[in-house]
Structure 1
Amino acid sequence: ADRLIAALGGDIKQIDGYGKGAIVGSAGELEHGALWHVPGGYAMRERLGDAKAIVPSAKKVGAFGSKLDVPLGHINAAYVRSHFDAMEVGISDGPRPDEILFCLAMTCGPRVHNRMGGLAADDIKAWDGLR
């Protein structure tokens, strides 16, 4: 998480979206990827100043070259639709059967030209992770 924050300029106030994911090699189980939820999500939320929203996630079992669409959402309110997005992640020579690819993703800003309506980031009021 710290390296990702640094790659995005180091100012956590600029980061307002995130997601996580895992691709488990074919000798593993989907639950091996589920183990990533706590260390991946909570570490990111902590580093971003106790972000309120749950970290969207995806996982699957896959072979060499598998891709995963990592879901993205706003860090403080899950209903901020302008930040609903995804990032495709994968590696050409992995995961091998006994490997797991773990991924964290962060964003600075909403989708370009978003026009979905709904709750705007500037209108977050409840600070409950949802609205």
Structure 2
Amino acid sequence: MQLNIRRTYLLIEDKSEAAGRRVDTPVRKVAAVVVLENPFVGRYVADLSPLIEASVGLGAMMGDMAVTALGSYQVQGYGKGALVGLNGEAEHASALITTAYANPLREAIGGGKAWISSMVKMAAPGCAIDVPMNHKDDVYVRSHYDGMTIALQDTPMADEIAVVFCMASHGRINARVGGLTHDEVVQRNGAKA
């Protein structure tokens, strides 16, 4: 199946301060968004495998978009989500963000051992989605439990699906609730920080 992409967005946030405390290196969050025509709009389709198969190329494209926007920063956290317009089904959006979609994202960022948190919902144009994020190599790194809220004017239209991939260069600024740390995960995995 060939997906009809209508528009794309890249959102970048650089955060240098929280609760009056500055950090030397800003936390960069990136969201890559692809809005496409829902090929199954307005009808029930039992077999969603064509969407799942098409999502592989979508994941590769969005991974490249997000890595480019991240620039010189390294990925520590990620998350994914999708909004489906009101003439579609949440299952249509879910079909686009399965493991088939996620594996090319991991490849684009150079790995990722943890599952990628996700959120899917039906929405009217301009509705927000909270995309949950976690550490890319271990879901139990509490400092990286975070997210991005995305709302785009006129998105999704009733016959569209908006797919979102988010990445973060660090955990939350001032994170201090304990538990496993990023450095411990890096040391355990023998990976580069």
CA RMSD of aligned residues (A): 1.5
Structure 2 gaps of 5+ residues are 1-62
Structure 1 gaps of 5+ residues are none
Give the whole-Å Cα distance in 1 for the aligned partners of 2:164 and 2:64: 13
Match for residue 9 of structure 1? Answer: 71
Match for residue 130 of structure 2? Answer: 69
Q: 2:175 aligns with which of 98, 114, 118?
A: 114
TM-score normalized with structure 1 length: 0.89
Q: What's the CA shift string for 1:83-115, capped at 9, x where partnerless? A: 000100121112111100110100001100001
Aligned counterparts, 1:1-131, within 5 A: 1-10=63-72, 14-38=74-98, 39-124=100-185
Q: What's the CA shift string for 1:43-101, capped at 9, x where partnerless? A: 21111222100011001001111110000110000000000001001211121111001
Give the whole-Å Cα distance in 2 for the aligned partners of 1:95 and 1:16: 29
> Identity of paired residues, percent?
39
Q: What's the CA shift string for 1:20-48, capped at 9, x where partnerless? A: 10000000001011112234322211112
Give the whole-Å Cα distance in 2 for the aligned partners of 1:29 and 1:3: 26
TM-score normalized with structure 2 length: 0.61
Shift of 1:10: 4.9
- Higher Rg of the two aligned structures: 2
Distance 1:40 1:89, change over 3 A: farther
Give the whole-Å Cα distance in 2 for the aligned partners of 1:10 and 1:113: 22
- Structure with more of its chain in strand, by fraction: 2
Moved over 4 A (4+): none
CA contact 2:126–2:154 (8 Å) conserved in 1? yes
Name the aligned partner's letter for residue 116 of structure 1: V
> Does 1 or 2 have the higher relative contact order (CA < 8 Å, sep 6+)?
1
State the secondary structure of the residue aligned to 1:6. Answer: helix
